[in-house]
Amino acid sequence: MNDKITVSTLKRLKKDGIKITALTAYDYPTARILDECGVHFILVGDSLGMAVLGYESTIPVTMDDMVHHTKAVTKAAKNAFVVADMPFMSYNISKEDALKNAARLLAEGGAQAVKLEGGIEIAETVKAIVNAGIPVVGHIGLTPQSVNQLGGYKVQGKDDKAASKLKSDAKSLEDAGICALVLECVPMDLAKEITESLSIPTIGIGAGQYCDGQILVLHDMLGLTQGHKPKFVKQYANISQIIKDAVGSYIADVQSQSFPTEEYSFANRKSDGK
């Protein structure tokens, strides 16, 4: 991949039937690796609250947190499309607040787009941000910022009424001008129906194979996350165990004095030519 991914690229990938690959990143070295691998779309998610800041949910994550981590990621991502989450209550109070906060993620953080959670109820806010020249990615289904209202981390849209609401949400967000839509924890037949009804790409997480692309939290798929693993997560490596093995070897080497050897040390200094 030699060209910077843009909104137009994402639309073309959908049109051409090429699946979009997306992962989260929260720091420079991780984003550099993902970019070098050819990932299309990097999300600086407010999932950083749980993945790297030790919070129990995304709700405590602040705008300053998001700007700080987005700035690190965008310095590394030469090709990938970088999207930054707008955190809890950063776009709900007023359109003015939403515009100011969205602008920070682009101007200070260097993101190419922002992501908002919600459906019809935030469509006018989305429209205002888009009209200001800021690309927006939508996010419906399981929306973690509303987890208390949703009654926990549950699959959404399982009955006809709930499915109808999600379809209406998707359409209203497309009409408001979003450039892509994340579908989280949605039955795959519903995700397929929504995907086929939209001209913009859908990115699934726990929404089945019919979305235009897929995203996972990097820390989940690498085995760095502790505790419960969601059903939709495929773990591709156990980096946690690799780190534990390496650190264990380091501790053993230091305590046995087998590290550092001369190979990892500098030669003795010369003393006054004597």
CATH code, 141 = 3.20.20.60
Task: Give domain status of residue 261, yes or no.
Answer: no
Task: Give domain status of residue 166, yes or no.
Answer: yes
Q: Which residues are annotated as a binding site for 3-methyl-2-oxobutanoate?
A: 46-47, 85, 115
Inter-helix orientation angle 188-197/160-176, to 10°: 30
Task: Give domain status of residue 263, yes or no.
Answer: no
- Burial (CB count <10 Å: 0-12, 13-18, 19+), residue 47: buried
Task: Give domain status of residue 180, yes or no.
Answer: yes
Average pLDDT estimate for 17-22: 98
* pLDDT tens-digit series, residues 70-105: 999 999 999 999 999 999 999 999 999 999 999 999
**Least confident interval from 139-143, 169-173, 269-273:** 269-273
Enclosing domain of residue 176:
7-238
**Domain count of the chain?**
1
146: DSSP letter: G
Q: How many whole angstroms separate alpha carbon 37 and alpha carbon 154?
A: 32
Q: Could you give the percent of the chain with pLDDT greater than 70?
A: 96
Q: Which residues are annotated as a binding site for Mg(2+)?
A: 46, 85, 117
Average pLDDT estimate for 160-184: 97
Q: How many whole angstroms separate alpha carbon 36 and alpha carbon 44?
A: 17
Q: How many whole angstroms separate alpha carbon 84 and alpha carbon 195?
A: 22
Task: Give domain status of residue 270, yes or no.
Answer: no
- Burial (CB count <10 Å: 0-12, 13-18, 19+), residue 121: exposed
* pLDDT tens-digit series, residues 231-261: 999 999 999 999 999 999 999 999 999 999 9
Tell me: cis bond preceding 87? Omega within 30 of 0 counts: no
263 flagged as catalytic: no
Residue 228: pLDDT band (50, 70, 90) is confident
Task: Give domain status of residue 255, yes or no.
Answer: no
**Catalytic option among 36, 124, 174, 184:** 184
For residue 1, what pLDDT is reported?
45
Q: Which residues are annotated as a binding site?
A: 46-47, 85, 115, 117
Which structure tokens are listed for 245? 């093995």
Closest to 34 measured CA to CA, from 17, 22, 49, 46: 22
β-pair partners for 117: 139
